[in-house]
Structure 1
Amino acid sequence: MNGTVTAVSRSSEHLFTKPNQGSIRLLAGLGVEGDAHLGVTVRHRSRVAADPTQPNLRQVHLIHAELHEELAAAGFTVAPGELGENVTTRGIDLLALPTGTLLHLGAEAMVEVTGLRNPCPQINAFQAGLLKAVVGRDEAGNIVRKAGIMGIVRIGGDLRPGDPIRVELPAPPHHSLERV
């Protein structure tokens, strides 16, 4: 399973949308250089308020470009970075990856998948009704979160649009992604 990076984004402030960049640098054990969520411990404001000593399992946020297309078909206009992701991908079913998957990004970087992004109601402030479009239920009634995945940087490196992504699955048994 291989894919491509279609966009990279970062913001030094805690904003909902992250501006696209020509490149970003991933720093091992920290996240995206210059991004508000950079750090060993949690940086998401609500999680910091609950317990600032929690490990940061949300150093890098990845969303599949195919989600943007699905949302467009439902009447929404969402571009890369607008849902707060650092890396927009194409060609990989991110939501189907098991916990512990390693994503080899570009020439050097490697991110370990930690879980699913749990979108918050703030997403409706961006576009009314969008939360319902990215959180649904499957046939069994289970919640399906479609707003991307989170990971931690195992090996740093520079990342640009057009860079390849190689997926390395963990040894079985595989565990489905849970929200982090």
Structure 2
Amino acid sequence: MRTVGRKGSITYHPKRAQIEAALASGLSYRNVSERFDVSVTALHRFSHGPLSTRLQFELQADPERDLSDLIARMFSIADNARYLAEVSAKNGDIALALRAGDSEMRILVRIMSQLGLDDSAIEESLKEAKHLGRAIVKLGRAHPRVAEEISKHLEEEGAYELASALRSVTAADTAR
């Protein structure tokens, strides 16, 4: 384990993704420190550092990055924080679970503020998404080939669960 100095910020570490995954999996700072030859202090700073620092890094790394990519990254970080909270709670580390839960909440609030959303705007968006989903299911039931094409496009976009759900709804109807 390194105890003196550090090679550089975790944010710029060449194995940053693996470090984040190791932290999200519930490995201790000490284990991650030894595995990736970084200091425990750097890991702590990275895990508890301001989100804005990470977002600035993302923007500097690819200035042409689309806002939707950045928001997707923020959601990924929020998902990792939620996972860390769940694992920590199961392992009895309530303090870490609470910190991870707080991080998830701060990320989601940041996303909302970046998009200019408030509770009513989110509620309206969810209602619109529900209407859109119902319309797609009705269309899929009436035209199974169209449902299959929509499912393929959803998979291309990485929405595997939605594609599977649409297929299962239309398959149940054709089985009747």
- TM-score w.r.t. the length of structure 2 is 0.24
Of the two, which has the highest radius of gyration? 2
- TM-score w.r.t. the length of structure 1 is 0.24
- More helix as a share of residues: 2
- More strand as a share of residues: 1
